[in-house]
Amino acid sequence: MKKTTIFFLLTGILTMAVGGIGSAIFYQRAQTTMIEHINDSYTIKNKDKIKTLNLKLSGNADYVIQGTTDSDVSMEARSSVTEPLKGSLDVEESGDTLTVSVNGKQSNGTFDNFRFGFHIESSQIVLTVPNDIDIINISDDASSYIDLSNFSNKEISMKLKNSDVSASSLASEKVKITGKSSDINFWGDSKIDELTIETEHGQIDLNNFVGSSVDLSTSSGDIYLSEVKSTTTNITSKNGEISLYNLRGEADVSGNNGSIYLYGEEFPDKLNATMEHGDIELSLYGEIKNLAIDIDTDLGDKEIFGEERSSYTIGSGKNEFNLKTKTGDINVYGDYYYDEEYTDED
């Protein structure tokens, strides 16, 4: 009896294993056959004369825009046949200006209730354009996601409505991005002399960035910086949290409603942080030298390195932090300081 039970048990397990392998192979083959590709390209006739690229995006498709070293503009649309993505590419040369119009429309799907798992999450339009055209202007009449990477030129300008943006590996003299309801994320190594990002309703993230001038603002949204080195940094958020990790250079940070957090082992040479209604918190790790801190709050607690006080100086005080809020607490934390070397002006 036991041998019979074991036999049927092993047979059942073997059947399930074979069925699982077969299902996986069938799924992969079915998914491959259900991918639809649309390709189009254009070779620029007078590449040496082109100084400006106007790139116009429309539709509801996601876009991946990549810079290349050749003289072609190419488009690849990749999608599932159950949710087809239709893309069109139009290119026009006029004098020193190249105008590229791309329309990507993602349908809602014919078999929304019967997908059987064959849904391609990476449906998108991949667009490649020359990366060395002096001025690149990108505008969208879309509601989508835009990934921008691998450009090295003088100027990039993006005017967005509702699209979110992710940018990486940019080396330009000037980059300006404006949006209405857009989350904007810079990641990867980018080096830009002048960076300006403005969004009315959206979050701004800036990571691993080097520049001379950084200007970030949002009316409603959080701002996060990590490993940013800039000669000057200006940050404004009317309603939202501002978080700064290892920020170097000189910085002016302000907000109306929210909180300001600065932390890390590296920090600005000079910092002016002002919040109308909200807390300011600094966590300074490692050895602190030549630092002067002044804090002021009308309604709230003030604490520097574990003690209630309004100012603190160590060494020459050449690095200056001025922190101010009308209603809120201000706290400065640190794991290293000399009690005997500070001067308390209270």
Residue pLDDT tens, the chain, 346 long: 555 666 555 665 666 655 555 444 444 444 444 567 789 999 999 999 999 999 999 988 899 999 999 999 999 988 765 667 888 999 999 999 999 999 988 776 544 444 333 334 457 899 999 999 999 999 988 778 999 999 999 999 999 988 999 999 999 999 999 999 999 999 888 999 999 999 999 999 999 999 999 999 999 999 999 999 999 999 999 999 999 999 999 999 999 999 999 999 999 999 999 999 999 999 999 888 899 999 999 999 999 999 999 999 999 999 999 999 999 999 999 975 444 444 455 4
Question: Is position 116 within any domain?
Answer: no
pTM, whole model, 2 decimals? Answer: 0.83
Q: Does 158 lie in the same domain as 295?
A: yes
The values of phi and psi at residue 70, to 5°, are -95, -170
Q: Does 332 lie in the same domain as 259?
A: yes
Q: Does 318 lie in the same domain as 293?
A: yes
Question: Is position 114 within any domain?
Answer: no
Residues written for the chain:
346
Q: Does 237 lie in the same domain as 317?
A: yes
**CA distance linking residue 304 with residue 337, whole number of Å:** 11
Number of domains comprising the chain: 3
**CA distance linking residue 264 with residue 209, whole number of Å:** 16
- The domain in which residue 226 lies consists of 154-345
Contacting residues for 192 by C-beta, under 8 A, at least 6 apart: 170, 171, 172, 173, 174, 175, 209, 210, 211
Q: Does 26 lie in the same domain as 163?
A: no
Q: Does 280 lie in the same domain as 217?
A: yes
The values of phi and psi at residue 23, to 5°, are -65, -40
Q: Does 257 lie in the same domain as 135?
A: no
Q: Does 46 lie in the same domain as 77?
A: yes
Question: Is position 115 within any domain?
Answer: no
Q: Does 161 lie in the same domain as 280?
A: yes
Q: Does 238 lie in the same domain as 161?
A: yes
Q: Does 179 lie in the same domain as 82?
A: no
